[in-house]
Amino acid sequence: MGRGGQDFGSKEDLRSKSQEEVFPAWARDVKDCEKRYGVTRENGLSNEEVEKKRQIHGFNELTKHEGPSIFRLILDQFNDTLVRILLVAAVISFVLAWYDGEEGGEMEITAFVEPLVIFLILIVNAFVGVWQENNAEKALEALKEIQSEQASVIRDGKKIPNLPAKELVPGDIVELRVGDKAPADMRVLILISSTFRVEQGSLTGESEAVSKTTKAVSEDSDIQGKKCMVFAGTTVVNGNCFCLVTQTGMETELGKVHSQIQEASENEEDTPLKKKLNEFGEALTAIIGVICILVWLINLKYFLTWEYVNGWPTNFKFSFEKCTYYFEIAVALAVAAIPEGLPAVITTCLALGTRKMAQKNALVRKLPSVETLGCTTVICSDKTGTLTTNQMSVSKLVAIGDRANAVRTFNVQGTTYSPFDGKIQGWPVRRMDPNLQMIAKIAALCNDAGIEESGNHFVANGMPTEAALKVMVEKMGLPDGMDAGSSSVNGGLLCCCNSWNKHEPRVATLEFDRDRKSMGVIVGSTSGGRKSLLVKGAVENLLERSSFIQLLDGSIVTLDQSSRNTILKSLDEMSTSALRCLGFAYKEDLPEFSTYTGDEDHPAHQLLLNPSTYSSIESNLIFVGFAGLRDPPRKEVRQAIEDCRAAGIRVMVITGDNKNTAEAICREIGVFGQHEDITCRSITGREFMGLGDPKTYLRQSGGLLFSRAEPRHKQDIVRLLKEDGEVVAMTGDGVNDAPALKLADIGIAMGISGTEVAKEASDMVLADDNFSTIVAAVGEGRSIYNNMKAFIRYMISSNIGEVACIFLTAALGIPEGLIPVQLLWVNLVTDGPPATALGFNPPDKYVMKKPPRRSNDSLISAWILFRYLVIGFYVGIATVGVFIIWFTRDSFLGIDLSGDGHSLVTYNQLANWGQCPTWEGFKVSPFTAGSEVYNFDANPCDYFKTGKVKAMTLSLSVLVAIEMFNSLNALSEDGSLLTMPPWVNPWLLLAMSISFGLHFLILYVPFLAKVFGIVPLSLNEWLLVLAVALPVIFIDEVLKFIGRCTSGIRTSDARSTKQKDE
């Protein structure tokens, strides 16, 4: 119901409305329709009747669906496990910072940096999410642009030429003329012109304009079969008529598409990667919870003590200071476990991917769709405009031979409206015989179309079939002795056609009508010769009205049954190839028109005003030949479908066009074999919806074809495929494709021929409208996903190492080696450049020879997880180990560490540093770090708090160095660095240099060093860092070698497990 209709109208009105909704106007004759709506064509509705109907139906406009509020969208951004953990960590961190700040401690600045950085991450993440979702519903707005703004209406017996279209109600009488856009769904009442055609391909998927009639059709006709209905948003290309409005607003076919788009947008799902990351977040929550509980249980004795009296615990003592310290450890665990930089790196990688795809003419509108492309298993493609050019072209020309029962066939190259696209094979250039000259003349002059150059492609003005004939004439060229001369209109494009027009100008037109199925023109001659009639139309109809035939040399002979059979045999061969055939004939004996020049007072003019006389004028014709036209397949599509087959991707063609045409195209492009039995693979949309088990039908291997498909059929096919676990890419260009584009995992619209509705509903737009571009984009998507897996594995393995470090610190009871702000710096800044650089890994040259990954494939396999647990455990040992080494050893592996003058303690003292105040005679000497001297004469126990700054710096530097070396390990999942050396990705080497540079920045800039709680290191201390960090490469090389040796065993185990699951 249109907006405004909800607020008024009784229940009786609503009941009558419901009855009118199901009234099949297309299946009733004109009188019944007028009676049903209480109206006559001459008078239309009265103003009182209009008001009554508006109370029932509302205004003729599409409803505006109110999307979620900005506040709701913001809240939705926090409906994510990782985000929630970070939020809790930030709140706790802020409270603890506030508590520490009141005491005026040295670490006050550091403590507040951490929660502020976390809050900043969350705010940016929420902003990006809200921006993306706020732009998601533009398809509905674009749909409204299709609606007509004004209509010519008859009310109270008077014509209102410019009534706002939104004021139309069912029962209104509307006049439609050439160029008008239908303002509502309407029943044709009477044709004013002899023929009336509508371009409705964007709504129905038909490749040609449709002739409309006043005759009723079957009640169960599909949308393409309703020849007496004109649908809202479609355009009149020929003729004029009066129509009766039957549906308005949301009740129209356009309104149904609007509702389907809205429904599809509400059912949008997360991408496969997003689902995996959500699963990872949930697992991470559980792991963090378990580790926090373990840390608290291990250290319970430090902040909660009691005594046993008579076997019962009494005298409980609680240390708030120690409790808050372990709160900080819990926060550090959360910060360490979550790869905060991951969203930014994923976004960067996807953005880089969109740039690569744009270079291949695939314009990505929604970043996550880049990744989803990589696991596409089914491509559901529209035919018209995607697999074909959506440009009619002549592919065969049949002319008469040197005798009456002989024909000549010429193959015409080219698939576009460009006169320069291809040529005619075996053509006698500048040596055309009289028969070919006559074909060229008829095709050029009996024609109202034109061709224009628009940018780097050519477009048709007028009927596509007529435009194709003009392109053929240009490829035929001119006969010898006929000069193209200069032309004022498209001289460069249609010089041959213009030359024919110049030599034999048109005098009169016999318009096409559906009964005789032909169009004729009467032309004169600039030399003053006699007039002639040129006719083109359906071959069978022209043959019935032809008495003669023109041979190759121009001689005229009688058209006998043998000649007729020869022509019909050629016609049948071309029709079985789904070619639309147009015949050519002429007549030179026109006594009635011999002196006619267009004067309305001439007696012959009365004949032209009466279309019923056209058949008699077009009689005793001379037949000269015919042409076979089609919407040809794109040249690149066949290879692209072969590539899809090799990549394990199924191609399904879903089109609104008729079955025979679609099957012929599918055979030609390789969806089906030339002689393959496709009775079980090619059905109409209606037949599919009548199947008892449609999912089983869709599971067939190989290609499928659905013809005469309506928008709801496309949606149902996509929905069933998704329910069956397929990742579906849907292509389309029309309004009728928009709901399915919205529902599919990847909606792909055409950039040149696509409607704005389709583009706004899509995730990706093809700038060149080419199916092969989709296949290239899928290959790019697979490469991007592989690279994303590389940096996700790298970042997660790094975070496992950080968790291991903090857990070991807490378990051993030693002072905190890494504080949250340092972990944040590593996760966000230091890890960021290498992770992003891994997105530039060179693509696998066999990426499109492998089957697509399933959407439920694990992001990290059990073996990879084990590998990174081993690596993570080493990271923990190395970072904690170097902390302990600095406190307990004056040298390590021959590296002298005593240069700064720090005091050594035993491991037992370090592990029980909390009991330091009870130690008698404990003293430490001052040590230097950079230009600063640390003195502990006032309180020696501060050695384990402020004095740990050098040990913390070593731990942080070891962590950074290990993660840089670990990024080299991530270059390949199983390949050794010997076979895939670091320089295959020079961006990674640059990124490592940047990360080390940033680390040096915070070490050697005093202000930053104070913020992060670190100090400069000496050369020997850097040697210690490298000695402890480098083994991570050798450990992973050993694990990779084991992985390569056992890959066959693991693959067979995985396959048997999958079969059991199925």
Catalytic choice (172, 382, 745, 831): 382
| b (16+ CB within 10 A) / e for 443-469 | bbbbbbbbbeeeeeebbbebbbbbbbb
- Which ranges constitute the DSSP H helices of 943-1005? 949-969, 986-1004
For residue 967, what are its two tokens? 């990024």
Strands (E), 645-698: 650-654, 682-684
DSSP for 205-229, written as a single string: --SS-EE--SS---TT--GGG-TTE
Let me know: does 187 contact 36? Beta carbons within 8 Å. Answer: no
Strands (E), 16-98: none
CA distance 756 to 498: 35
Whole-angstrom Cα Rg for the chain? 39
Q: How far apart are the first and last CA of the chain?
A: 46
CA distance 805 to 952: 12
For residue 586, what are its two tokens? 């002429």
3-state SS assignment for residue 336: helix
3-state SS assignment for residue 168: coil
3-state SS assignment for residue 1042: helix
For residue 361, how many other CB atoms are within 10 A of its CB? Answer: 17
Task: Provide the CA 66 distance to its chain's centre, in angstroms.
Answer: 24
Residue among 737, 729, 691 nearest 712 (CA): 737
According to DSSP, residue 384 is labeled I
For residue 132, what are its two tokens? 């993306």
For residue 70, what are its two tokens? 């900005």
CA distance 996 to 226: 70
**Surface-to-core class of residue 908, CB atoms within 10 Å of its CB (0-12 exposed, 13-18 middle, 19+ buried):** exposed
Residue among 1011, 802, 834, 1015 nearest 116 (CA): 1011
Q: Return all residues near 435 (Cβ < 8 A) that are at least 6 apart.
A: 399, 400, 550, 551, 552, 553, 554, 624, 625
3-state SS assignment for residue 487: coil
CA distance 142 to 567: 49
CA distance 744 to 756: 18
**CA 467 → CA 35, 445, 451, 497, 1024, distances in Å?**
42, 12, 7, 11, 79
CA distance 770 to 206: 19
Helices 862-888 & 771-812 angle (0-180, nearest 10): 40
**Is 382 part of the annotated catalytic residue set?**
yes
The vertex-791 CA angle with 789 and 794, nearest 5°, equals 110
Place of tokens 């069933």: 720
Q: Return all residues near 701 (Cβ < 8 A) that are at least 6 apart.
A: 650
Place of tokens 């040529």: 423
For residue 606, how many other CB atoms are within 10 A of its CB? Answer: 11
Q: Return all residues near 583 (Cβ < 8 A) that are at least 6 apart.
A: 536, 537, 538, 539, 541, 542, 543, 623, 625, 626
Query: What are the residue numbers of the active site?
Result: 382
